[in-house]
Amino acid sequence: MTPNRLRNLDMGTLRSFVTIADAGSMTRAASRLFMTQSAISMQIKRLESSLGLSVFDRSSQGMKPTTEGEQLLQYANQMLALNDEAMGRLTSPDYEGVIRLGAPGDVIYPHIPGTIREFSRDFPRVQIKFSAAGTLALKQQFDLGQHDVILTTEREPGPGGRIISTQPLLWTGAQDGVAWKRRPLPICFSRNCAFRPTVTAALDAAGIGWIDVVSSDDDLASDAMAAADLGVRAEMECVINVERQAIVHAGQLPELPSFSIALYANEKSNNHLNDTLVDYLARAYS
């Protein structure tokens, strides 16, 4: 009796499979992995041929794992995590040290936790010290050498700033909320929020009265008041919290301009570490 030929799952293909499942399309997955769409499509065709089953349902809304694909996804995540942990521990001995990372509180979620986790998994000898503050404070601290890498939210980043995402500001409030209809308009921003001056200027120009309902240096109070439908705020689409939603105001609130998320890296310290973390962050926000 001839034994069955041993078959192996390719790690590169599994990584593409997991990225497609997360991104919802081959185009977005190829961009994240710096591959061509044809190359990633060929990987999935070979995977499905090898397994003898379809791993994705394809529709105009995107790609979702089939029932079998969901099973494979669980294994693939475990296998990739183990592979990446082993590679991180056994290679790149020069990747040791500390990176001081700073970001505004309103752009931490959803991307930074996953990015830090991924980076720490790949480079376990590197320690990340993370702090949150407003854009103005972060830039001042960065100039004083207190951070190695910072993210900011700005209309126009200064010298050395690398734009990784640009989006229009959206009015946001509680799910099915009505706070946006009140006059004067209750707004909830932390004192040092980079969006606040732009929002109040737009309201003043539109002749809409407004009142502050938050007095705080961080975003926790703003989050709570907006989620409770006691005020509205403005956010970039990529960071809207699940407890809030974009307000469909049909022109009853002024349109807001675009803001950019920018990255600054200290060129005088840990260059290879800083550049690598910057690449991880840029990929997440793109």
Domains along the sequence of the chain with CATH = 11-90 (1.10.10.10), 97-165+260-285 (3.40.190.10), 168-256 (3.40.190.10)
* Run of H or E including 64: strand 62-65
- pLDDT at residue 94, rounded to an integer: 62
Average pLDDT, the chain: 89
What pLDDT is stored for residue 92 in this prediction? Answer: 63
Rounded to whole angstroms, the Cα distance separating 157 from 263 reads 9
The b/e string for 67-90 (b: 16+ C-beta within 10 A; e otherwise) is eebeebbeebeebbeeeeeeebee
For residues 272-277, give the mean pLDDT: 87
- The residues pairing with 52 across neighbouring beta strands, listed in sequence order, are none
The reported pLDDT for the residue numbered 5 is: 57
pLDDT at 217 over 60: yes
Whole-number pLDDT of residue 93: 61
**pLDDT tens by residue, 40-63:** 999 999 999 999 999 999 988 889
pLDDT given at position 86? 78
Tokens describing residue 247:
């307000």
Measure the N-to-C terminal CA separation of the chain; round to a whole number of Å. 53
Name which of 78-87, 97-106, 164-173, 272-281 the model is least confident about: 78-87
Residue reference for tokens 């961009």? 31
When pLDDT is cut at 50, 70 and 90, the band that residue 26 belongs to is very high
Question: Within 91-240, where are the H helices?
Answer: 111-122, 135-143, 196-205, 220-227
Predicted pLDDT of residue 271: 74
The whole-number average pLDDT for the span 204-224 is 91
pLDDT at residue number 31: 86
pTM: 0.67
Q: Say which amino acid occupies 282.
A: A
Q: Are strands 185-187 and 210-212 parallel, antiparallel or unpaired?
A: parallel
Q: What percent of the chain lies above the pLDDT cut of 90?
A: 62
The band of 2, judged by pLDDT with boundaries at 50, 70 and 90, is very low
Dump pLDDT digits (tens) for 236-270.
887 766 678 999 999 999 999 999 999 999 877 66
Q: What is the mean pLDDT of residues 66-92?
A: 85
Alpha helices in the chain (DSSP H): 11-23, 26-33, 37-51, 67-90, 111-122, 135-143, 196-205, 220-227, 271-285
User: What is the C-alpha separation between 60 and 130, in angstroms, rounded?
Assistant: 40
Q: Give the pLDDT mean for 195-216.
A: 95
Please indicate whether residue 82 or residue 18 has the higher confidence score (pLDDT): 18
% of the chain surpassing 70 pLDDT: 93
Tokens standing for residue 237: 């689409």
From residue 181, give the alpha-carbon distance in Å to each of 133, 187, 242: 31, 12, 21
**Beta strands at 126-132 and 97-103: parallel, antiparallel or unpaired:** parallel
Q: What per-residue confidence (pLDDT) applies to 123? A: 85
Is the per-residue pLDDT at 1 higher than 50? no
Instruction: Note whether 214 and 225 are within 8 A (CB).
Output: yes
Q: Which of 108, 166, 165 is nearest to 138 (CA)?
A: 108
| The pLDDT of residue 219 | 82
Tell me how far CA of residue 165 lies from CA of 136, 187, 191, 244, in angstroms. Answer: 19, 25, 24, 21
**Distance (Å, rounded) from C-alpha 136 to C-alpha 190?**
13
Q: How far apart are CA 49 and CA 64, in angstroms?
A: 18
pLDDT of residue 234: 94
CB-based contact 168:113 (threshold 8 Å):
no
Q: How confident is the model at residue 121 (pLDDT cuts 50, 70, 90)?
A: confident
- pLDDT given for residue 91 in this prediction: 66
CB 169 within 8 A of CB 187: no
Measure Cα distances from 149 to 7, 59, 120, 127, 160 in Å: 43, 40, 15, 13, 11
Query: What is the per-residue pLDDT across 96-105, written as a single tens digit (0 to 9) for each?
Result: 789 999 999 8
